[in-house]
Structure 1
């Protein structure tokens, strides 16, 4: 599909969300481009209706009294609800004070706000007339380590938000976050990185270096997403390993801080405060999130009024700190030493370094440098740790405005998705099939006979379409031909499965998960069992895409694989 000349890339992040608008069909996004960034927080009123998003939601909520805040629904860090857990269409997510709303509503209203904001900005600045959602190619970023159900959920949220009308619309492209960042950074000159080292690159940009292999570490607020790329002769990128990473982003540091506060004031008092004064707590956490990236200095967090009031009921507030290392009470402020602050980063950084080391130790790859991107990469503690651990053997690069690298790269990716030449399959995928029964090979319990009695077959066999770890090119089709087992068969049903196994024999083996199904009509029965069904599936894209053709009737069906359960 040829992309629209108007392209809007939305980087929907855990901590911050941004978008880039491009009305330029080329790769140069410096012209006719609008950018916007705000916090990923959303506010609903007591009737569960959308109120505000971003910094406006944060400001409104933190100004509320505790009684006002108790009636509102304020969500932050909710993107993490889609990571590493079972996702259903009816998934509910919770606010800090344990109120719940449907996840699809929270995500879709967030995307609706970003869509409307972007279209308004586009109409006011570079467009000559009102721009409608269907006039735009939308690029929505997702973590590479998300499973297919999470990607499916985001496509449904985008449809509900009005970005697209048809769930299978090609006007919506999902871009993997570290891929987008990689695409952006590989075309940057050496001056585009925070610390330019002598001899970083032999030429002016990474893009010109065929054969260069590098690790992309996308450090976001929620997840750290890691991929390994090689630059090919034509400038496109080849993924060398399947994406890896974990929930070690910037919010894991915030969690250590809240655990420390819980330790200071005790679990009972802390739970009371968290549930009764969520807006006030949110304000304190926002202050911490700004100060945590300080340059080797102690930080001072003003103790919120209601927390101090609750604590003072039990004992003098300074006594909470008397036996505590790394923090003290100073004129209404909680002073945290830089050493203690650094300890909040320890576990996150340890996990990141271990994962990078695991990749670097892989014998079949030869890395030239490590690329750090994402908002969390702005932390000097993280950058220095990576440099200290790997800087003697590898070049460590971090672009300026590292938090915008994903959104900027998503614009380029949306213009030319073929820039990622190939990807590595995270799982083994296959479908159910039947084959002529062989008593030496097949389970007798799966033996079947067709209606005419002239064909004995084994049912429930697993046909491997692509294996875990297999490299698949972006335009590569897995193509298969099937025949009906009965002369008068008027439809053919297919079921799709995934597994961590490299292969399987039967679809009911342990470890196989059904991920989707579809039925293809076969109304023309004149050729009996000599009718062909052609199935084509693409595994090298950011989403699995498939279609089936009944050659007798010409019936073509674009397949929507359903990864979420009811």
Structure 2
């Protein structure tokens, strides 16, 4: 793959000049990006794991970038106005409220939330009925133009016949293995899924009463019935906009983000982030956690989930060495789906990464050599960890993928 890409731009240093942008589901765990980055590195498409030539953006963020760039061309929105992005994918539907800033940049104002109610769950409703996929997109939800579908099991799904027994088999045999799917039956496949989407949208719009417009994106947004139900439910509350090809909005937005990554100015943290600290044991901690030196390892919160942060925002804590002659420290960073944690080995706490700093100054001042530990959210893709010696001003940095 690398050779084919490089040969398409003769004379250009692929690794230096080409920016790769990948889209991910909105609620991917942090380690998904790390795994993908490692795979792309192993494929030879990047020269180092930490290169900025590889960036990630979630599908919901990509839809947001696509729409805001489209609107900026027509001057339809003013700075300060908010809009709701609804990314209706195959497995999940994710929503987030964004705000347009001066200069055309985007701020995220609510944490991205969602539910497993994408287009494949329409299939699941049909599977409960017949163990086979339904046709999703072409159902418009209008009974007057609906023609009963004759589903021929013998032709379209012959393997199913062997599992049908008893009176049902006799009845289907008499009907020549044809099942009539009438309007009410097909509608019943859609309604449980669409009702979940409507509840999600109602919740977000209740938190954003002055929402200017609602944008749809993702493959399930192509469903005429879904569009109709959303317009009937929310059309009198907010403007609703659907692109001609909703699924393509994700890829177009990802490309536009690659051309101008500064367009996203703020983000709402999906996780809480912290660093392991090695403190003196206190009476409110289990004595079983106390180590032989009287200390205990704990989670120290740096940034809480749900917080809207500027890209480049730093969260810091001051720490001091444990030993007077200590010249190196291993800093361990973690993240959790909860607001906070007490200990780094709790089930919901996951490792973000390690940062070993060597060459810290030693001096006669002993333990009076504090360091400032910071996490900086540098972009939608990376978190930068910084260690600054407050004794001599030396700075050490590393980056983790979000």
TM-score by length of 2: 0.82
Q: Structure 2 CA distance, aligned partners of 1:513 and 1:310? A: 44
Could you list the runs of 5+ residues in structure 1 that have no partner in the other structure? 1-111, 191-202, 263-283, 323-328, 451-456
Q: What is the aligned partner in structure 2 of residue 246 from structure 1?
A: 115
Asked whether the equivalents of residues 428 and 502 of structure 1 are also in contact (C-alpha less than 8 Å), the reply is: yes
Q: Structure 1 CA distance, aligned partners of 2:60 and 2:284? A: 44
Instruction: Give, in angstroms, the shift of residue 228 of structure 1.
Output: 0.6
Q: What is the aligned partner in structure 1 of residue 351 from structure 2?
A: 515
Q: What is the aligned partner in structure 2 of residue 433 from structure 1?
A: 277
Q: Indicate whether 1:383 and 2:227 are aligned.
A: yes
| Aligned partner of 1:463 among 297, 300, 309 | 300
> Kindly tell me: are residues 181 and 321 of structure 1, through their superposed partners in 2, closer, same or farther at Cα, counting changes over 3 Å?
farther
| Aligned partner of 2:265 among 416, 421, 434 | 421
TM-score by length of 1: 0.60
Aligned length: 393
The one-character-per-residue Cα deviations of 1:220-262 (angstroms, maximum 9, x if unpaired) are 1121111110111222111111000122111111222222213
Instruction: Give, in angstroms, the shift of residue 334 of structure 1.
Output: 4.6
> Kindly tell me: are residues 482 and 256 of structure 1, through their superposed partners in 2, closer, same or farther at Cα, counting changes over 3 Å?
same
Q: How does 1:47-58 map to 2 (within 5 A)?
A: none
Asked whether the equivalents of residues 373 and 388 of structure 2 are also in contact (C-alpha less than 8 Å), the reply is: no
Q: Structure 2 CA distance, aligned partners of 1:299 and 1:368? A: 40
Q: What is the aligned partner in structure 2 of residue 260 from structure 1?
A: 129
Q: Structure 1 CA distance, aligned partners of 2:15 and 2:137? A: 35
> Kindly tell me: are residues 162 and 366 of structure 1, through their superposed partners in 2, closer, same or farther at Cα, counting changes over 3 Å?
farther
Asked whether the equivalents of residues 186 and 205 of structure 1 are also in contact (C-alpha less than 8 Å), the reply is: no
> Kindly tell me: are residues 205 and 128 of structure 1, through their superposed partners in 2, closer, same or farther at Cα, counting changes over 3 Å?
farther
Q: Structure 2 CA distance, aligned partners of 1:304 and 1:534? A: 70
Instruction: Give, in angstroms, the shift of residue 150 of structure 1.
Output: 3.0
Q: What is the aligned partner in structure 2 of residue 145 from structure 1?
A: 27
Q: Structure 2 CA distance, aligned partners of 1:303 and 1:130? A: 56
Instruction: Give, in angstroms, the shift of residue 511 of structure 1.
Output: 6.1
Asked whether the equivalents of residues 154 and 161 of structure 2 are also in contact (C-alpha less than 8 Å), the reply is: no
Q: Structure 1 CA distance, aligned partners of 2:271 and 2:126? A: 36
The one-character-per-residue Cα deviations of 1:442-476 (angstroms, maximum 9, x if unpaired) are 877777898xxxxxx85424322111211111111
> Kindly tell me: are residues 184 and 458 of structure 1, through their superposed partners in 2, closer, same or farther at Cα, counting changes over 3 Å?
same
Q: Structure 1 CA distance, aligned partners of 2:309 and 2:43? A: 32
| Aligned partner of 1:227 among 70, 93, 96 | 96
Q: Structure 2 CA distance, aligned partners of 1:534 and 1:508? A: 20
Asked whether the equivalents of residues 30 and 352 of structure 2 are also in contact (C-alpha less than 8 Å), the reply is: no
Q: Structure 1 CA distance, aligned partners of 2:302 and 2:348? A: 14
| Aligned partner of 2:330 among 476, 482, 493 | 493
Q: What is the aligned partner in structure 1 of residue 396 from structure 2?
A: 556
Q: Greater shift after overlay, 475-484 or 289-298?
A: 289-298
> Kindly tell me: are residues 167 and 524 of structure 1, through their superposed partners in 2, closer, same or farther at Cα, counting changes over 3 Å?
closer
Q: What is the aligned partner in structure 1 of residue 135 from structure 2?
A: 288
> Kindly tell me: are residues 258 and 445 of structure 1, through their superposed partners in 2, closer, same or farther at Cα, counting changes over 3 Å?
closer
Q: Indicate whether 1:345 and 2:174 are aligned.
A: no
Aligned residues: CA RMSD: 3.7
The one-character-per-residue Cα deviations of 1:167-224 (angstroms, maximum 9, x if unpaired) are 222111111211111111123259xxxxxxxxxxxx9344x42121111000111211
